[in-house]
A = this chain, B = another copy of it.
Amino acid sequence: MDTKETILHEAIELAADRGFESVSIRDIARASGIRESSIYNHYAGKEAILEAILTKFISYFDEMNPELDEDAALDEMGLDEFFSAGMSSLLAGVGDEQHYMKLWRVIAIELHRNERVKEFYKTTLREAPMAFWEGIFLKMMDKGMIPRCDAHELAEEFFSYALLMFFEAFLVYYEEDPTFFSRMAGDRIARHARFIVGKLHEKEAKE
């Protein structure tokens, strides 16, 4: 690993503990085994390191979240199976490699003060998945797999729970248990999915 990568890596490790704001150039230099001044040969300043962290996170996220071929999947699966598959895909997208988890933690902490992170949250973490699931639900209705209802609302009900898990895992429980998301989110979201599926099945049974 070259120096530039090392600096970035150590900056993330430190920022996951106490937030990027609380990490100094000195800290990063010490952890990277070089002097403060050497950092400026690789990054223009502290802000540039944060930008690099966000860029790394976003490209990592995109790479881990290939477009799902929902049409093919919908033809082959039942409703329950599809939810499980969708959730596995979601969790795979979050990843569970330790260092990647730290990136999520940094992003969560930066949310309140960084415009780029806010934009990422609003479009990539919230709107895009909501639109995806809304599309899925519409197709399910077309195929008669679920009864007709407001697909937009259904998507909101379904995906909101995953968003709450994100906030709780990385802002509330992270320090006492950095694996909270990988360990708990899967089960909790699966339970939630069953609740929603239950609702759809009941509707079906009723009609």
Quick check: A118 and B153 within 8 Å, CB to CB?
no
Lowest 7 A-B CB distances belong to which pairs? A167-B167, A164-B164, A112-B171, A199-B199, A109-B112, A111-B171, A202-B202
Residues of B within 8 A of A18 (CB): 113
Hey, which chain B residues are within 8 Å of A157, CB to CB?
Answer: 192, 195
Q: Is A205 an interface residue (CB 8 A)?
A: yes
6 residue pairs bridging A and B, Cβ less than 8 Å apart: A111-B172, A122-B172, A153-B191, A160-B164, A202-B203, A205-B206
Quick one: which of A30-45 are within 8 Å of B by CB? Answer: none
Max chain B CB contacts within 10 Å: which of A22, A112, A122, A167?
A: A112
A163: contacting residue among B122, B164, B170, CB under 8 A: B164
Does A19 lie at the interface of the complex (its beta carbon under 8 Å from any beta carbon of B)? yes
A130 located at the interface, meaning its Cβ lies under 8 Å from any Cβ of chain B in the complex: no
**Closest CB of chain B to A27's CB: distance in Å?**
16
Those of A150-195 within 8 Å (CB) of chain B? 153, 157, 160-161, 163-164, 167-168, 170-172, 174, 191-192, 195
